[in-house]
Amino acid sequence: MTDTCVTLLNPVDEKRCRTLAKLDLTAKAQWPEMLLLGAFARDLLFWHMHGIESHRETMDVDIVVQMKDLDAYNRFRSSLMEKGFTDKDVDFPGLRDTETNVEVDLLPFGEIAKDGVITDWPEIDDSWSVVGMQEAYDHAWRLEISVNGNTHMFRFVSVPGLVLLKIVAVFDRPKRRYQRDTYDIGFVIKEYLNIGNKIRLLNPPHDDILDKVDSDLDRATACLLGREISSMVSESTKRYVVDLLAKEVKSQSYCLFTQGLQDSLCRGSFPRARIIVGDILDGLKWGRQGQIV
């Protein structure tokens, strides 16, 4: 895991801190550390750390926890409900903190998944891919919060981990996810250089990128993110994501991921969106030693 404990420019609101503290106190005795992801993690990475707003506000908290099986997942849910959580009023595996009214989407990964997919959740009527979850967990950063004098530590996804999981989600649950997840990927591409990453394009091993993309900064960012994802994932996960994006680049038919970037990043230009998908793909094919694989 990345041993970076972040400093926040803008603190997390008090209600969400109280909910996070309650989650931590309930989980730490029996389950591995939780991983914060989704829109809240995006806001941690950009707004809370750097003062860059996404303009897509959320009060929800998305977490994943390693679980052996469905029984372990249900026991964890039951423990949370004993601490004041209740079921959300929607068809999704989530809870609501009755004290703060903060909603929590609670997702398992780990042994509960078979071949990277969870198929037996009673709350939802389709399968759920957890491809990339382990890598995002292993390369997470740390967030420390203090509530009532007690310190609570959480893992939260890095920017490459966030983009990885959102790419997987777009293809796994397109009707539910593609608009908001491609919006977030577009936002990351727009802003990633503004959180201390411009200098990385001027120094090895990434100083070749600007020449490859004719100094186009959005394209350079897409390629850089692809490389960072490549450096953190297993070969099987890399191949899975490469295959998804390669179909988008080559297809002559409807391409949902590309269309999402067309709307969120490329001012309606589908050809430019397809080029940027290709840049992410080229970055993913970049090996750990810099070679193209």
The model's pLDDT over 219-271, given as tens digits with 9 standing for 90+, comes to 999 999 999 999 999 999 999 999 999 999 998 777 889 999 999 999 999 99
pLDDT over 70, % of the chain: 92
pLDDT at 291 over 70: no
Q: Is the dihedral of CA 206, 184, 155, 113 positive or negative?
A: negative
pLDDT at 292 over 70: no
DSSP state of 11: P
- Under a CB-based contact definition with an 8 Å cutoff, are residues 119 and 172 in contact? no
pLDDT at 160 over 80: yes
Tally of helices (H runs) and strands (E runs) in the chain = 12, 9
pLDDT at 165 over 50: yes
Mean pLDDT across the stretch 206-230? 98
- Under a CB-based contact definition with an 8 Å cutoff, are residues 63 and 105 in contact? yes
Give how far Cα 124 sits from Cα of 39, 40, 90, 109, 247, Å. Answer: 21, 22, 10, 15, 28
pLDDT tens-digit series, residues 139-153: 999 999 999 989 999
Token pair, residue 27, equals: 């989980």
Read off the pLDDT band of 121 (50, 70, 90).
Answer: low
DSSP letter string over 148-208? TTEEEEEEE--HHHHHHHHHHHHHHSHHHHHHHHHHHHHHHHHHGGGGTTGGGGGSTTSTT
Residue 114, beta-bridge partner list: 117
